[in-house]
Structure 1
Amino acid sequence: MHTFVTGAASGIGAATALRLARRGPVALADRDADGLVATARAVTDAGGTATAHVLDVTDADDVAAALDAAEKAGGPVDALAHCAGILVAGPVLDTAAEDWAAALAVNLTGTVNVLTAAARRMAERGAGAAVVVGSNAGNGPRVGLGAYGASKAAAHNATLTLALELAGSGVRINVVAPGSTATPMQTAFGGAAAAEAAIAGDLARHRLAIPLGRIADPEDIAGAIDYLLSPDARHVTAQVLTVDGGATV
Structure 2
Amino acid sequence: MGETVVEQSELAGRTALVTGAGQGIGEAVTRALVARGARVAAVDATPDGIEKLAAEFGADVVAHYAADVSDGKAVEAVVDDVERTFGPLDILVNVAGVLRTSPVVDISDEDWERTFAVNSTGVFNASRAAARRMSERRGGCIVTVGSNAAGVPRTSMAAYAASKAAATMFTKCLGLELARSGVRCNVVSPGSTDTAMQRSLWSDEQAPARVIDGDPAAYRVGIPLGRIADPSDVADAVLFLVSDRARHITMHDLYVDGGATLRA
Which residue number in structure 2 is paired with residue 29 of structure 1? 43
Secondary structure of 2:41's counterpart equals strand
Structure 1 Cα separation of the partners of residues 131 and 206 of structure 2: 39
Structure 2 Cα separation of the partners of residues 14 and 208 of structure 1: 28
Letter in 2 for 1:43: F
Where does the alignment leave 5 or more consecutive residues of structure 1 unmatched? none
Shift of 1:193: 4.1
With over 3 angstroms needed to count, the CA separation of the structure-2 counterparts of 1:199 and 1:3, relative to structure 1, is: same
Secondary structure of 2:249's counterpart equals coil
Which residue number in structure 1 is paired with residue 260 of structure 2? 247
With over 3 angstroms needed to count, the CA separation of the structure-2 counterparts of 1:208 and 1:93, relative to structure 1, is: same
Q: What TM-score comes out, normalization by structure 1 length?
A: 0.95
Shift of 1:72: 2.1
Shift of 1:71: 1.6
Q: Deviations over 1:49-79 (max 9, x none)?
A: 1111111101111001111111222211111
Q: Does 1:130 align with 2:142?
A: yes
Which residue number in structure 2 is paired with residue 180 of structure 1? 192
Larger radius of gyration: 2
Where does the alignment leave 5 or more consecutive residues of structure 2 unmatched? 1-13
The farther-off stretch of 189-198 and 102-111 is 189-198
Given candidates 51, 60, 67, the residue that maps to 2:62 is 51
Which residue number in structure 1 is paired with residue 4 of structure 2? none
Aligned residue-pair number:
246
Structure 2 Cα separation of the partners of residues 115 and 17 of structure 1: 17
With over 3 angstroms needed to count, the CA separation of the structure-2 counterparts of 1:135 and 1:38, relative to structure 1, is: same
Secondary structure of 1:162's counterpart equals helix
The question of whether the paired residues in 2 share the 8 Å contact of 1:18 and 1:42 is answered with: no
Shift of 1:14: 0.6
Once superposed, which parts of structure 1, at least 4 consecutive aligned residues long, lie more than 4 Å away?
none
Q: Deviations over 1:200-245 (max 9, x none)?
A: 1112211111011111111000000000000000010001101001
Given candidates 240, 243, 249, the residue that maps to 1:227 is 240
Q: What TM-score comes out, normalization by structure 2 length?
A: 0.90
The question of whether the paired residues in 2 share the 8 Å contact of 1:55 and 1:63 is answered with: yes
Shift of 1:42: 2.9
The question of whether the paired residues in 2 share the 8 Å contact of 1:17 and 1:43 is answered with: no
With over 3 angstroms needed to count, the CA separation of the structure-2 counterparts of 1:59 and 1:211, relative to structure 1, is: same
Given candidates 76, 88, 95, the residue that maps to 2:100 is 88
Matches within 5 A, 1:64-83: 64-83=76-95
Given candidates 18, 22, 25, the residue that maps to 1:5 is 18
Secondary structure of 2:200's counterpart equals helix
Secondary structure of 2:228's counterpart equals coil
RMSD: 1.2
